[in-house]
């Protein structure tokens, strides 16, 4: 069995419409490279016949391997499963919707050959709504401010990782996985380039506003405890100002006697303080929730079916 040079990991959730054209484009990009390659498709619990398409592909192309989850576990879990399956000296992660153009693969491989462990293809934001662009820009600024890891604007999950970088990512045990941060955390020599963004070929994006916001909060909280620190700072400053204000009131009473107390001031103080307290409790709650989640040590996904024997073997299969 020849050693695998490149593994392409493709998470797929309800992608049956594009899978055929994606696969053709991917093969057209991979074949001329002359490398031994494999394509690791991960069906993330699709309900639209994606897994049937994968079975067909695997039956007629020996370089296709697949794993199918028992339900939708999310893209992070699918990428993890794909990386665990992969055997290549270089691993490329890409989306199935042709928004990550396979034509860029030779360029990524070329950069990898020059010694880079991570090659990141960043999308510019053509074809995206102005509101979404502005929101993502602001978000990345916030993330850069809060996290210890550097994440470039537009850097999605389209990247090539060397075997040692993949092994490093796989060695991180956390349940709450925020890949963009994990990739950046493992380090190694990283290089990036920008390509023109394209709208998805068919099907619908799985990232509605709400899901994006939740993903955003996850990203912010999963990397360090700086938000907690912020809460402590806010609390301290508020306490100090309250102390100053109390001293001023006491002094005022001592000098001028009791005046009619200010209702407005009182209400403002109460409302502002309870707001800060609630927000702080929320932040703490998020972290406690995360600890609870990690402490359960659940697997990241459950496999329903796979094309191969090995660690993913499903009971009842030969
Ligand atoms: N995806 C997945 N599980 C999910 C959501 C998405 O595996 O729960 C896959 C999806 O099939 C696609 C990639 O992740 O290959 C990116 O998803 P999508 O195109 O919906 O995201 P967008 O490009 O809008 O950010
Ligand atoms: Mg997409």
Per-residue pLDDT reduced to its tens digit, 21-61: 999 999 999 988 888 899 999 999 898 889 999 988 888 88
The minimum-distance atom of ligand 1 relative to the CA of 94 is 15
pLDDT of residue 310: 45
Find out whether 9 and 94 touch, Cβ atoms under 8 Å.
yes
CA of 44 to the centre of ligand 1 (A): 9
CA of 149 to the centre of ligand 2 (A): 24
Note the pLDDT tens digit of each residue in 111-129: 999 999 999 888 776 666 7
Q: Which of 95, 122, 135 to mutate to test the pocket of ligand 1 (most atoms within 8 A of CB)?
A: 95
The ranges of the chain with pLDDT < 50 are 309-318
Beta carbon of 245 within 6 Å of any ligand 1 atom: no
pLDDT of residue 126: 66
Ligand nearest to C-alpha 45? 1
pLDDT of residue 152: 63
pLDDT of residue 314: 42
Does the model's pTM come out above 0.80?
no
pLDDT of residue 264: 67
Beta carbon of 66 within 6 Å of any ligand 1 atom: no
pLDDT of residue 312: 45
Find out whether 155 and 192 touch, Cβ atoms under 8 Å.
yes
Beta carbon of 97 within 6 Å of any ligand 1 atom: yes
- Alpha helix (H) residue ranges in the chain: 16-30, 50-60, 75-85, 105-113, 130-146, 163-170, 179-186, 209-221, 226-256, 263-295
CA of 32 to the centre of ligand 2 (A): 26
Whole-angstrom CA distances from 46 to 17, 43, 53, 176, 206 are: 12, 6, 11, 22, 12
Task: Please list all protein residues whose beta carbon sits less than 5 angstroms from ligand 2, which is an ion.
Answer: 95, 97, 99, 200
CA of 100 to the centre of ligand 1 (A): 11
DSSP state of 32: G
The minimum-distance atom of ligand 1 relative to the CA of 14 is 11
pLDDT of residue 282: 76
Beta carbon of 17 within 6 Å of any ligand 1 atom: no
């Amino acid at each position: 069995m020849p050693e695998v040079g490149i593994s392409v990991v493709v998470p797929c959730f309800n992608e049956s419409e594009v899978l055929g054209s994606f696969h053709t484009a991917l093969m057209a990009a991979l074949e001329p490279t002359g490398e031994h390659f494999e394509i690791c498709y991960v069906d993330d619990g699709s309900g639209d016949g994606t897994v049937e398409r994968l079975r067909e592909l695997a039956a007629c192309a020996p370089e296709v391997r697949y794993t199918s989850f028992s339900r939708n576990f999310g893209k992070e879990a699918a990428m993890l499963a794909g990386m665990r399956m992969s055997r290549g000296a270089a691993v490329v992660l890409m989306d199935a919707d042709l928004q990550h153009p396979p034509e860029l693969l030779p360029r990524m491989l070329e950069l990898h050959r020059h010694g880079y462990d991570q090659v990141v293809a960043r999308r510019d934001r053509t074809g995206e709504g102005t509101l979404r662009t502005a929101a993502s820009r602001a978000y990345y600024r916030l993330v850069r401010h809060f996290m210890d890891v550097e994440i470039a604007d537009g850097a999605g999950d389209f990247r090539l990782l060397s075997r040692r970088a993949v092994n490093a990512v796989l060695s991180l045990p956390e349940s709450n996985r925020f890949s963009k941060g994990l990739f950046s955390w493992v380090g190694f020599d990283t290089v990036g380039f920008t390509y023109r963004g394209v709208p998805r070929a068919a099907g619908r994006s799985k990232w509605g506003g709400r899901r994006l916001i939740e993903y955003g909060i996850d990203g912010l909280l999963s990397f360090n405890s700086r938000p907690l620190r912020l809460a402590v700072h806010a609390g301290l400053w508020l306490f100090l100002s309250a102390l100053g204000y109390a001293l001023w009131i006491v002094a005022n009473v001592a000098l001028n006697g009791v005046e009619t107390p200010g209702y407005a001031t009182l209400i403002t103080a109460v409302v502002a303080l309870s707001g800060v307290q609630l927000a702080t409790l929320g932040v703490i709650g998020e972290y406690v929730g995360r600890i609870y989640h990690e402490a359960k040590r659940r697997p990241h996904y459950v496999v329903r079916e796979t094309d191969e024997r090995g660690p993913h073997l499903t009971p009842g299969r030969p």
